[in-house]
Structure 1
Amino acid sequence: MAHVERLGLSRRSFSAAMLAMLAMPRSAMAQTGSDRIAVLDWPWAETLLALKIAPLAVAEAGLYRKRVVTPALPDGTIDLGLRSWPNIELLKSLRPDLILTQANYGISAAILEPIAPTLALPLFTPERRPLHFAEAGLLDIATRLAREPQAEAFLASFNAELEDIRQSLSGYDGRPLLIAKFADDRMLDIYGPGSLFQDVLDRLGLANAWIQSGNHWGFSTAGLDAIARAPEARLVIIEPGPSSSLASSDLWKALPAVRADRVVTIPPTWVFGGMPSARRFAAVLGKALASA
């Protein structure tokens, strides 16, 4: 049983997944052209969708819908189990034409190559330029699948949209931002250099109040005192926000940003994502700051 759990799905779940696949209508199973693509990490799943290609299967597809949100996965997308260790038995049975995964994360390409040709693309690297690698990955996938026109169209719309948002914020007061997501009731992940969000702030001409480099993904986990150490910042909270007990506490109300009513919230946005996540972050942040 331990072996089955390590594969990401129980035998019962595997059987259910296979029955669901067989029961799908042809329209739900149809892929663009003849491509049957399995995706083990969400940035490349959303990138594939940006290229107008529906993936056959995605790891943790249900959770993708809650955390990445958009672009939305088609209803018929098969769930491959864990991103860190997908259900290999199910993956083999699907006989994909291509497997997309993130380099240096989760299961190695050497294990996947015997199943199907595998494209392992870097995103978070020691260079700490995730948006750059997200664009490079988009172009690599487009070249591999002969979708260069779709990639060019996406990049044109991406650049135009970010420029529009930048222009819409021309009246913003220039106050630096502290971008945070609650890890629990007292700890937050705060995003700084090396994060996807930092790259978007740079494109929008916005200052980040958090200058610590943080971990591999560009964020630091800190207590509420970190907010107090940036008294002039505007606090941007990625939903969900503070618990009701914390929000009503004297501790929370005493924080400079809270006391001065300099707090905005934005919908769930995936910090570990590719270009579609970067575009979503820019859009929701721009909307939140427009009325700040």
Structure 2
Amino acid sequence: MLPRIAVLDWAWAETLLALGVPPDAVAESPLYGARVVSPALAEGTIDLGLRSWPNMELLRAFRPDLIVTQTGYGVPAAMLEPVAPVLSLPLYTQERQPLKLAETGLEAIAARLQRLDEATAYLEQAEQQFASFREKLQSYDGRPLLILKFASDRLADIYGPGSLFHDVLDRLGLPSAWPHSGSHWGFSTAGLDAIAANPEARIVIIEPGPPEALAASGLWRAIPAVRAARVISIPPVWVFGALPSALRFAGILTKALQTS
């Protein structure tokens, strides 16, 4: 019989699903489907409130056998331990290697739940998928990629070292146009001038975006990559994810670059 598991972080929720262990309760579970998309939570997954600060009364009433959370984000493990045993795992840290930590975290969760065979199979499958994507991208023209997500009409989050997306580019053998680490999660919030300052790049926009008013403006059309029609849009991918999100991003990006 599987333990009753409460998860306060979507990256580790998707990791549990990858191991074939659907969590019973997840913070902000109604939003998970729109933001993370895949793998999907089971219907009826209990919503524990905010990821940054869950409903502690509901968490206690749920009586979990295990709470899984991300180290350094949200409620400290010491506050959760009176409720149930806690597995707190790092992902976005000063090490700035989230993809490596996602793989390590998957193994740690698998060890705790006696799912090491499933973890080994998933990691082997992941490496096969990355290898397949690299093979498909051998014909790519080599332009550096500027990966961004619009934060407002004039600002975008641009992903660099320390982000999951940058690690995926490295794994795929693709160059990044953005060398700046930026925030704790590896992105910099910048204006159109920063985008325009990379005239040789191919822009990859994580939907939605650009805003309609901006897309119709002369400011946007004056950006060299936009003027040269080197802009592609891809469906939403969870920017703070773990290995499942990394694989999803890699597959979507590979397909987009093949057809651009």
Give the equivalent residue in structure 2 for 1:273: 241
Give the equivalent residue in structure 2 for 1:195: 163
Cα distance, 1:276 vs structure 2: 0.3
> What one-letter code is carried by the residue in structure 1 that aligns with 2:92?
F
Alignment of 1:236-247 (within 5 A): 236-247=204-215
Alignment of 1:81-100 (within 5 A): 81-100=49-68
Cα distance, 1:246 vs structure 2: 1.1
Could you state the TM-score of these two structures normalised by the residue count of structure 2?
Answer: 0.99
Quick check: 1:106 aligned with 2:74?
Answer: yes
**Inter-partner Cα distance in structure 1 for 2:2 and 2:256:** 42
Give the equivalent residue in structure 1 for 2:93: 125
Which 5+ residue runs of structure 2 have no aligned equivalent?
none
Q: Give a deviation string over 1:231-288, Cα, whole Å, max 9, x none.
A: 0000000000112211111111111111000000111011111100100110110010
> What one-letter code is carried by the residue in structure 2 that aligns with 1:193?
P
**Inter-partner Cα distance in structure 1 for 2:57 and 2:31:** 21
Greater radius of gyration (CA): 1
- Out of 36, 47, 53, the position equivalent to 1:79 is 47
Indicate the RMSD between aligned Cα atoms, in angstroms. Answer: 0.6
Could you state the TM-score of these two structures normalised by the residue count of structure 1?
Answer: 0.88
**Inter-partner Cα distance in structure 1 for 2:47 and 2:122:** 26
Quick check: 1:285 aligned with 2:253?
Answer: yes
Cα distance, 1:213 vs structure 2: 1.4
> What one-letter code is carried by the residue in structure 2 that aligns with 1:54?
P
**Inter-partner Cα distance in structure 2 for 1:48 and 1:64:** 14
- Out of 93, 98, 113, the position equivalent to 1:145 is 113
- Out of 136, 153, 158, the position equivalent to 1:168 is 136
Cα distance, 1:215 vs structure 2: 1.0
Specify the SS of the correspondent of 2:147.
strand
**Inter-partner Cα distance in structure 2 for 1:144 and 1:268:** 31
> What one-letter code is carried by the residue in structure 1 that aligns with 2:10?
W
Specify the SS of the correspondent of 1:169.
helix
Aligned-pair identity (%): 65
Give the equivalent residue in structure 2 for 1:60: 28
Which 5+ residue runs of structure 1 have no aligned equivalent?
1-32
**Inter-partner Cα distance in structure 1 for 2:211 and 2:163:** 25
**Inter-partner Cα distance in structure 2 for 1:178 and 1:162:** 20
